[in-house]
């Protein structure tokens, strides 16, 4: 009797444990690798790329990107049409990349992307980028980057740009925590087509969850990251030795140590004044002449670089103010340290007009393996 009861229990439990209600066979589902959103005639155009593997026998296989587009009034509206192009249920659980066309990015991204955060299925490790100069969906018509299928290739080039400290590390998940942060904006990578290739061409400044249309050019991106105090191990910068002669007259250096200090004071009208000080220790990578650099020259070089970087960082801060994108989180800092002042300020109005003084101080500590 007892064994019989046990047996019945086990037999009735087994079918439950398999969870047959929720089985989703990979064989049937179509895995989205990349998604792009554009805005066209006041409608959203979504394009998805689904990787189709074509087996060619004995371990060889080829792939094909199946592209499909749909327009609609909301993201899910477009997805319901997109489903009709595919053989099985679409799954966004492995999407590598999400692209925004410029016009789409200028909308309030947070509210548009709600779908990704409200449902537990979508993968939040996808890289996010803005596409400049062409429709985002056109990027997917490139078949591959190197040997990687397009969606994977885009993921890789953005990942590489993050490692080079061109853009801060980020994905769909970090985006969620960046949205709506009081007193802080953020930047997103901008992709552009140049000739037959696609490259990360800079950092787009986001203001109030929407792309401001202004971006920081590639040569200044790393400096911005240093100012934001959000960089990876490898940070390289370039400086012209003189304004007149440009050809082969640049010194390049890698930052070995960076220290940022932000000091916020108030002026007579209770407006914040920001003093930003950046102390860098650098090692030389390239010098226009392969010759001995004397200590005197080195000192002069330090001043040249310091002045150049100070000028450039002032320019960067001006650009962020023009874009009304407080990427350094100065507002957040005021909110944390001086809640009273924060309450009295309308930060959206204040940020573009506050005074930000930046000063960069460079010390050359290494000259490479030759003196």
- Which residues of this chain interact with other proteins, rule CB under 8 A? 9, 13, 16-17, 19, 21-22, 93, 117, 120, 123-125, 168-169, 171, 173-174, 176-182, 230, 329, 332-333, 336-337, 339
Considering the complex, state which of residue 178 and residue 255 has its C-beta at the smaller distance from other proteins.
178
CB of 87 to other proteins, least distance (A): 21
149 token code pair = 């299928």
Helices (H), the chain: 2-17, 75-82, 102-105, 109-112, 114-118, 136-139, 150-163, 172-178, 218-228, 295-322, 330-337, 339-344, 347-350
CB of 173 to other proteins, least distance (A): 4
Considering the complex, state which of residue 211 and residue 231 has its C-beta at the smaller distance from other proteins.
231
Considering the complex, state which of residue 125 and residue 368 has its C-beta at the smaller distance from other proteins.
125
Residue 205, strand partner residues: 187
CB of 125 to other proteins, least distance (A): 4
135 token code pair = 């429709």
CB of 80 to other proteins, least distance (A): 18
Considering the complex, state which of residue 123 and residue 211 has its C-beta at the smaller distance from other proteins.
123
Residue 254, strand partner residues: 236, 283
CB of 176 to other proteins, least distance (A): 6
CB-side exposure of 89: number of CA atoms within 13 Å? Answer: 9
Considering the complex, state which of residue 101 and residue 183 has its C-beta at the smaller distance from other proteins.
183
Q: How far is CA 277 from the centre of its chain?
A: 25
Calpha distance 243→241 (Å, rounded) = 7
Considering the complex, state which of residue 17 and residue 268 has its C-beta at the smaller distance from other proteins.
17
Considering the complex, state which of residue 76 and residue 336 has its C-beta at the smaller distance from other proteins.
336
By the 10 Å C-beta count (0-12 exposed, 13-18 middle, 19+ buried), 129 is classed as buried
CB-side exposure of 204: number of CA atoms within 13 Å? Answer: 27
Calpha distance 99→102 (Å, rounded) = 9
CB of 263 to other proteins, least distance (A): 15
Largest CA distance in the chain: 99
CB of 323 to other proteins, least distance (A): 20
């Amino acid at each position: 009797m007892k064994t019989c009861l046990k047996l019945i229990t086990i037999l009735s439990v087994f079918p439950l444990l398999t969870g047959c209600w929720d089985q989703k066979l990979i064989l049937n589902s179509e895995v989205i690798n990349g998604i792009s959103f554009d805005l066209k005639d006041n409608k959203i155009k979504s394009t998805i790329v689904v990787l189709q593997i074509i087996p060619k026998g004995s371990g060889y296989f080829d792939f094909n990107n199946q592209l499909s587009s749909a327009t609609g009034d909301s993201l899910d509206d477009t997805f319901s049409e997109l489903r009709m192009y595919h053989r099985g249920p679409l799954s966004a659980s492995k999407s590598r990349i999400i692209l925004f066309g410029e016009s789409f990015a200028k909308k309030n991204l947070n509210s548009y992307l709600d779908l990704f955060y409200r449902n537990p299925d979508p993968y939040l490790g996808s890289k996010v980028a803005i596409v400049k100069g062409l429709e985002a969906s056109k990027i997917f018509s490139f078949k591959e980057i190197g040997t990687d299928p397009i969606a994977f290739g885009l993921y890789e080039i953005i990942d590489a740009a993050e490692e080079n400290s061109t853009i801060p590390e980020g994905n769909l998940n970090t985006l969620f925590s960046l949205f709506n942060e009081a007193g802080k904006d953020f930047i997103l990578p901008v992709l552009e087509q140049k000739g037959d290739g696609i490259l990360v061409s800079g950092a787009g400044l986001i203001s109030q969850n929407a792309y401001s249309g202004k971006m920081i050019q590639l040569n200044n991106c790393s400096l911005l990251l240093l100012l934001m105090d959000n960089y990876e191990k490898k940070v390289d910068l370039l400086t012209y030795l003189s304004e007149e002669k440009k050809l082969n007259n640049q010194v390049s250096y890698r930052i070995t140590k960076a220290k940022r200090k932000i000091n916020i004071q108030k002026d007579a009208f209770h407006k914040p004044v920001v003093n930003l000080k950046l102390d860098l220790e650098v090692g030389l990578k390239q010098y226009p002449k392969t010759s001995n650099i004397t200590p005197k020259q080195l000192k002069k070089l330090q001043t040249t670089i310091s002045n150049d970087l100070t000028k450039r960082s002032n320019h960067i801060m001006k650009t962020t103010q023009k874009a009304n994108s407080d990427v350094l989180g100065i507002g957040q800092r005021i909110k944390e340290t001086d809640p009273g002042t924060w309450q009295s300020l309308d930060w959206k109005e204040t940020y573009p007009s506050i005074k930000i003084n930046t000063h960069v101080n460079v010390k050359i500590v290494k000259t490479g393996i030759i003196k």
